[in-house]
Amino acid sequence: MAFTLPDLPYAFDALEPHIDSRTMEIHHGKHHAAYVAKANAALEGTKFTEMSVDDVCQNLSDVPAAKRTAVRNNAGGHANHSLFWQVLASPTSGGGGEPTGELAIAIASAFGSLEGFKDKFADAAATRFGSGWAWLCVKNGSLVVCSTANQDNPLMASAIGDAAGCGGAPILGLDVWEHAYYLNYQNRRPDYINAFWSVVNWSKVRELFAQAK
Ligand code: MN3
């Protein structure tokens, strides 16, 4: 089965004023849709169309060499954006606030405090040169922060090594490509990163943490 563009789990304007409606519309309907179409084109006629996109990323080294770069970029883009939409929520529907439960305990254990985690994650996002992502991952049962370039992600680690960041399982991601924020924030990436905390869907991150552990 070919990949399909997942619906956004909220309206385009749900994340206003932190992430604007027009950005969401273009980001989901044009950028993410293009990754899906190009991943499908690259994988057409291969066994990889039977896998989940996360499994394709984890098995990237098995993809025929001639297709691997296209799959890295576009299956990566599909996987990354599919996670990204899920870990965001409207501030009026549970977005923002603080993590709870075992996730809160694990964050305090790994980073000293929630603020310690936010500083580390924001630093990874701000210092990623050019386009890429910041991640919170579960690795060997613990939480780690890393970042990757372009549409790479930590699931690709066995195929692309250090370029995949920490090699853990991502449970929170932040897109720092300019297409994710430029309409509203122009060159002010730190302002976008700061606004992100107002729309994080911590209950979803908590669920992904429980699955990944
Ligand atoms: Mn993007």
Q: What is the DSSP string of the chain?
A: ----PPPPSS-GGGGTTTS-HHHHHHIIIIIIHHHHHHHHHHHTTSGGGGS-HHHHHHTGGGS-HHHHHHHHHHHHHHHHHHHHHHTB--GGGT-SS---HHHHHHHHHHHSSHHHHHHHHHHHHHH--SSEEEEEEEETTEEEEEEEETT--GGGHHHHGGGGTT-SEEEEEEE-SGGGTHHHHTT-HHHHHHHHTTSB-HHHHHHHHHHH-
Kindly give the interhelix angle for 33-43 and 65-86, rounded to the nearest 10 degrees: 150
CB 175 within 8 A of CB 84: yes
Phi, psi (5° rounding) for residue 61? -70, -15
pLDDT of residue 133: 98
Q: Tell me the average pLDDT across 93-115.
A: 97
Asked whether the beta carbons of 97 and 114 are under 8 A apart, the reply is no
> Which residue type, as a one-letter code, is found at position 164?
A
Average pLDDT of the residues in 29-48: 97
Is residue 128 very low, low, confident or very high in pLDDT (cuts 50, 70, 90)? very high
CA of 95 to the centre of ligand 1 (A): 20
In the predicted structure, residue 13 carries a pLDDT above the cut 90: yes
Give the tokens for residue 151: 């549409």
- Cβ–Cβ < 8 Å for 79, 164: no
Q: How far is the CA of 105 from the centre of ligand 1 (A)?
A: 30
**Over residues 25-35, mean pLDDT:** 98
Q: What is the mean pLDDT of the chain?
A: 97
| Structure confidence at residue 35 (pLDDT) | 98
Summarised one tens digit per residue, pLDDT across range 164-187 is 999 999 999 999 999 999 999 999
Asked if residues 158 and 58 have their Cβ atoms less than 8 Å apart, the reply is yes
| d(CA 109, ligand 1 centre) in Å | 31
Distance in Å, CA 183 to ligand 1 centroid: 13
Residues with CB under 5 A from ligand 1 (ion): 175, 177, 180
Q: Per-residue pLDDT for 1 more than 90?
A: no
Domains (range + CATH), the chain: 21-88 (1.10.287.990), 92-212 (3.55.40.20)
CA 139/CA 155 separation, integer angstroms: 11
> How confident is the model over 116-139, as a mean pLDDT?
98
Q: What is the pLDDT of residue 202?
A: 98
Cα of 84 vs centre of ligand 1, distance in Å, is 9
Q: How far apart are CA 118 and CA 170, in angstroms?
A: 16
Single pTM value for the model: 0.97
Mean pLDDT of 13-23: 98
pLDDT attached to residue 80? 98
pLDDT in tens, 42-86: 999 999 999 999 999 999 999 999 999 999 999 999 999 999 999
